[in-house]
Structure 1
Amino acid sequence: MSFSVTPIAPLEAARHFIDKIQKPSRLLVAISGGSDSTGLLMALDRVCRDAGRADISLHAVSIDHALRPESGAEARGVAALCTRMGIPHHLRRWDTAKPATGLSAAARLARYALIADVADDIGADMIVVGHTRGDQLETIAMRGARSARQDNLGLAGMADAMLYGGRHWIVRPFLNSTRQDIRDFLSGEGQSWVEDPSNDDMKYERVRTRHLPLLEDRSLMDQSIQRSTLALDAAHFVENAFQSYGHGLVGLPVACLDASSATLRYALSAVACVIGGRRFSMAAQTLDKVVSFAMQSEPGRMTAGRVVFDRRREALYLMRENRDLPAIMIPGGGKAIWDGRMEVANLSGLDMTFRAAGSDMVAADFPASVPAGVVRRVRQTLPVIESHEGPQLAESRPEAVSMRPVLAPYDVFLPRFDYELANRIARLVGRGTYPPAPL
């Protein structure tokens, strides 16, 4: 997402967003009652009415995280505002147990899951959220503080659109609008907003970052790298260079290792996340070692990010390492994610235990060109089901088991930056592609 030279006023940003919608749409606007989300809902409503866009309907959703005593009253206040505006309002409450640590991350995941449920219920085409220019600058500053490397992809900031759960596009029309401009707009409308006390709690990294004078430095905006271009180059590289041998094994011919360093790093990192069943990329220093290892001329093996990188004379092979592989029980008719790599549905009426083949090393077909040692290691990591007949490959029982590859780094949150790359990897591992962004 590139920055505009100057901030964009809220109504102008809303108009730009609405003008890009070329077909009848139902928008679900997330509103907490704070100034950013309240301004977003009011700006979108004003623009739709002024433009006569009766083909666009607005719905609002609020999530009561049940973390503060006043949260229920705030949600009711938002509902009253929506009633006055004639906008349907949907309220959901996070009622499950709260974790002792990682509360902010857990609240974010719960929030998006509850919003997505509402989007499903009403058939929303897009979910619209109120992240602002300030949020973007804070994000870049926080990511920059964690790594000063020039290849820190976090310096690209938040994407203007993100796919959640493989089915709902979340868009951010206000990424170039400032909080102060949004509040000025609300004040001009005679509309108040809720002040969340957590926004001033210095125990949170984002709040501490918000108070740094560094955010006023224009050089922060200049740190944003051209991640979209890099990701697209990596997507083409995956499509043209990587080969799939099935069963979670991919290879990269050594002749393709002369690609540009940045492209090779991006592609290897993304593919390794999928093969290893991990949501987050390996550390930059670890990736340095992987790339250096891959570029060597001698055969060898190294392990990183739950992935074995096996360098042969003809290719670099990537496969899941045979360590910390789970065994899970899935009840009849149930579904679960196994090892972060496979969505498994138990189609039978019986409970089934799924585990890795391990020392059983059940048979699975591979091309004759794949080295025997690579085949042996891959077979150890294949999912099997326990039965009275001994371990059986899960894929050999299609009447009882349905399996679908998981793309761990993309199936929950897929930023628009990586959309093409994710689809190339999906095709590589035999998975359906992701739906395109509506805008």
Structure 2
Amino acid sequence: MSSLLKPLAPLEAARLFIKKIQKPTRILVAISGGSDSTGLLLALHLAIGDAGRDDISLQAVTIDHALRPEAAEEARGVAALCAQFGIVHHVRRWDEPKPKTGISAAARLARYSLIGAVAGEMRTDLIVVGHTQGDQQETIAMRSARSVREDNLGLAGMADAVLYHGRHWIVRPFLNSTRQDIRDFLADHGQTWYDDPSNDDAKYERVRMRNLPAEVPVEVIDHARKRSELSALAAQLIERHTESHHQSLIKIRAEGLREEPAILRYALSALASVIGGRRFAVSADSMDRVMAFVGKGQPGRVTASRVVFDRRKEGLYLVRENRDVPSLHISAGATGVWDERFEVTNTSAVDVVVGGSGVASVPNMLVNFPSSVPSGVATRAWQTMPVFQDDSGGVTIRPMLAPYDLFLPRLDIGLANAIAHLLGRSAYPQPPV
């Protein structure tokens, strides 16, 4: 789990990765044609052959982001390399309109969406990408620059494995290999690669971090193990001390609030992101305010990141704030995501609209909650639960876990599964390696 270990030679890293695979496996290699991904493809191809693993197969996918005219030619070059190795190769192109701002983030989401689609079509067991030790150092440096707090969990860096869309595990076998070692490995095997000019464009934050002058050190702190342990303890807190009602209200019982503050904070942040339908963790400043409120031990309420934290004698209730609850039209036979909290599938023959009940009067609403839930808390929760118009009975809903349903790092899988169980969701699949 370390964010920075002694560098591994590329072929050794590939061999160790293949050795961990204990069953027949189909691997999809994401390859752009750059040195890192080309080295990954070659190293895995050689490692599988050296190990005599006929039960492991490779396929490759290249994403043309349609941002550079050279990209199509580079994809053809990658196809020729794959043909040389007898590896099936796929090309997908990002043809959607490009945003005027945030192009890097949009391209990343599009890339993973296209790769995931190929993985689904080919029924591959895992996806591998060529992130290196240098990429890890740059990631940590960027996160460090955004926050100097000692509890900045971003200093754990990139996880070695990430679950994408709850279906596909993405693994980084080269996370402890250097780019220079990869290029030397390619040169030793007479293999060239393509250089993307955007990798030298200083308008990108990652490039600026990569090009820091030698006299400016980049402090790399290994927080991965600490974060993994904290996540596991937060999962235990949730398993022991929480309850959920209608997938819209979570209570942490009083004894859970007496856990070590760092553990409670991690658990609260995760639960708040889910209840609030937020993909990202609650900001550090907001969590400072929440923890100070909880620490007082007095009845009251505080709101942060679309979540109301309501402290009562018997515990702390978390519920979605009853402001700006959206309305969503879902066509017959379609599926949509409402408020980033529920996936709604309309299997009926008519269109439906889903929204919150708001302040509308709902007869006998309180009987749907245990008598132990304060009426004010129950009312607020009911006002933010999904209500359907024109529902003929053909609508199903599934709670979303916004911070985990798109990208779930390996180190948080125990925590994510604890919350999934709390809300009646099935567990996320375990990583294959």
Structure 1 pair 30/216, CA: closer, same or farther in 2 (3 Å)? farther
- Tell whether 2:74 aligns with 1:74: yes
How far did residue 304 of structure 1 move? 0.5
The corresponding residue for 1:380 is 383
Q: How big is the shift at 1:231?
A: 0.5
Q: Identity of aligned pairs, percent?
A: 60
Q: Distance in 1 between matches of 2:349 and 2:200?
A: 53
Which of 429, 432, 438 is 2:426 aligned to? 432
**CA separation of 1:104/1:53 partners in 2, compared to 1, >3 Å: closer, same or farther?**
same
> Using a 3 Å threshold, how does the CA distance of structure 1 residues 218 and 97 change in structure 2: closer, same or farther?
closer
Q: Report the equivalent of 1:40.
A: 40
Separation in 1, partners of 2:195, 2:109: 22
Which whole-Å CA distance do the structure 1 matches of 2:56 and 2:233 have between them? Answer: 36
Deviation at 1:255, TM superposition (A): 2.4
Give the equivalent residue in structure 2 for 1:175.
Answer: 175
- Does residue 246 of structure 1 match 2:246? yes
- Return the offset for 1:368: 0.4
Q: Which of the numbers 372, 384, 394 marks the counterpart of 1:369?
A: 372
Question: 1:246: how far off?
Answer: 2.2
Do the aligned partners of residues 105 and 361 (structure 1) sit closer, same or farther apart at CA in structure 2, a change above 3 Å counting? farther
| 1:208 counterpart letter in structure 2 | R
The range that moved more, 208-217 or 318-327, is 208-217
CA–CA distance in structure 2, aligned partners of residues 124 and 247 of structure 1: 33
In the alignment, what sits opposite 1:390? none
1:401 aligns with 2:395: yes
Query: Does the 8 A contact of 1:311 with 1:317 survive in 2?
Result: yes
Q: CA deviation at 1:157?
A: 0.4
CA distance in 1: counterparts of 2:59 and 2:216, whole angstroms: 35
Question: Contact 1:269–1:282 at 8 Å: present in 2 too?
Answer: yes
CA deviations 1:42-89 (Å, max 9, x no partner) are 000011111111111000000000001111111111111111111000
The Cα offsets for residues 231-286 of structure 1, whole Å up to 9 and x where unpaired, read as 10111111111111224101112222111111011000000000000001111011
Match for residue 421 of structure 1?
Answer: 415
Distance apart, 1:219 and its partner CA: 4.5
Q: Answer yes or no: is the 8 Å Cα contact 1:270–1:281 preserved in 2.
A: yes
Partner of residue 106, structure 1: 106
Which residue identity does 1:378 align to in structure 2?
Answer: A
- Between the aligned partners of 2:307 and 2:3, the Cα distance in structure 1 is 37
3-state SS, counterpart of residue 358 of structure 1:
coil
1:137–1:147 distance in 2 versus 1, CA, 3 Å: same
Counting only pairs closer than 5 Å after superposition, residues 132-281 of structure 1 correspond to structure 2 as 132-213=132-213, 217=217, 219-222=219-222, 226-281=226-281
Deviation at 1:382, TM superposition (A): 1.2
Deviation at 1:215, TM superposition (A): 9.7
CA contact under 8 A between 1:137 and 1:215: conserved in structure 2?
Answer: no
Query: Structure 2 matches for 1:2-17, cutoff 5 A?
Result: 2-3=2-3, 5-17=5-17
The residue number in structure 1 matching 2:406 is 412
Tell me how far apart the structure 2 counterparts of residues 92 and 425 of structure 1 sit (CA, whole Å).
35
Q: What residue number does 1:123 align with? A: 123
Give 1:197 deviation, angstroms.
Answer: 0.4
Q: 1-side partners of 2:58 and 2:325: how far apart?
A: 46
Q: How far apart in 1 are the matches of 2:137 and 2:218? A: 10
Q: Report deviation, 1:218.
A: 7.9
Aligned counterparts of 1:228 and 1:215: Cα–Cα separation in 2: 32
Name the CA shift for 1:225/1:24 in 2 (closer, same or farther; >3 Å): closer
Single out whichever of 198-207 and 370-379 deviates more from structure 2.
Answer: 370-379
In the TM superposition, what whole-angstrom CA distance separates every residue of 1:364-419 from its partner, at most 9, and x where no partner exists?
Answer: 600000001111111111111123xxxxxx7xx6x311100000000000000100
Cα deviations across residues 312-335 of structure 1 (Å, max 9, x unaligned)?
A: 111110000011111111000110
- Could you tell me how far 1:217 is from its partner in structure 2? 4.7
8 Å contact from structure 1 (residues 357, 383) kept in 2: yes
> 1:360 is paired with a residue of what secondary structure?
coil
Larger deviation, residues 288-297 vs 167-176: 288-297
Superposition deviation, residue 137 in structure 1: 0.3
Q: Give the match for residue 305 of structure 2.
A: 305
Spell out, residue by residue over 1:277-321, the C-alpha distance to the aligned partner (whole angstroms, 9 max, x if none). 000111101101101111222211111010011111111100000
**Distance in 2 (alpha carbons) for counterparts of 1:305 and 1:65:** 33
Secondary structure at 1:409 match in 2 = helix
Contact 2:131 2:174 in 1 (8 A): yes
Structure 1 length-normalised TM:
0.95
Uncovered stretches (5+) of structure 2, i.e. residues with no partner = none
Cα 1:215–1:293 shift into 2, 3 Å: farther
The answer for unaligned runs of 5 or more in structure 1 is 388-393
